[in-house]
């Protein structure tokens, strides 16, 4: 069963740039400079998106000198993926559970 937290997380990930950021962070820890290079987005735009991802609990930050590195929190996505996997499993058996029309 999807929760309101799941719905909120899906809204956060529905933005194409945030989804691209999450995809990049799934492979390596990056700073904002790297994200500007990888996405082509402006630094101020990325900063706003990183704030949304941080507040949603999707990324962690690690200060390093004058830079801040971002790391994806896999556990933030794991619960959502488990619920989608459960929906997919239920859907495989749904064809057999055809409700009769009145």
Residue 17 lies in a domain: yes
Yes or no: say if 39 and 23 are a contact pair by the CB < 8 Å rule.
no
pLDDT at residue 1, rounded to an integer: 73
* Average pLDDT for the chain: 92
Spatial separation of the C-alpha atoms in residues 59 and 66, rounded to whole Å: 19
Total domains in the chain come to 1
Residue 98 lies in a domain: no
**At residue 101, does pLDDT exceed 90?**
no
pLDDT at residue 70, rounded to an integer: 97
Residue 101 lies in a domain: no
The DSSP code sequence of 38-73 is HH---HHHHHHHHHHHHHTTSEEEEEETTEEEEEE-
Q: What is the share, in percent, of the chain residues with pLDDT greater than 90?
A: 67
Residue 102 lies in a domain: no
- CATH code of the domain covering residue 71: 1.10.10.10
Question: What number is the average pLDDT over the span 46-55?
Answer: 97
**At residue 53, does pLDDT exceed 90?**
yes
| Full residue range of the structural domain in which residue 55 is found | 4-93
Residue with tokens 């999450």: 22
Give the CA-trace dihedral at 33, 35, 9, 76, to 10 degrees: -80
Residue 24 lies in a domain: yes
**At residue 59, does pLDDT exceed 90?**
yes
Residue 99 lies in a domain: no
pTM: 0.84
pLDDT at residue 69, rounded to an integer: 97
């Amino acid at each position: 069963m999807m929760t309101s937290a799941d719905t909120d997380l899906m809204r956060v990930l529905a933005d194409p740039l945030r989804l691209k950021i999450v995809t990049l962070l799934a492979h390596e820890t990056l700073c904002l400079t790297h994200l500007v290079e990888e996405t082509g987005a402006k630094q101020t735009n990325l900063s706003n998106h990183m704030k949304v991802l941080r507040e949603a609990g999707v990324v962690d930050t690690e200060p390093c000198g004058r830079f801040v590195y971002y790391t994806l929190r896999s556990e933030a996505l794991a619960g959502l993926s488990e619920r989608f996997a459960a929906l997919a499993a239920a859907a495989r058996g749904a064809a057999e559970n055809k409700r009769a029309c009145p």
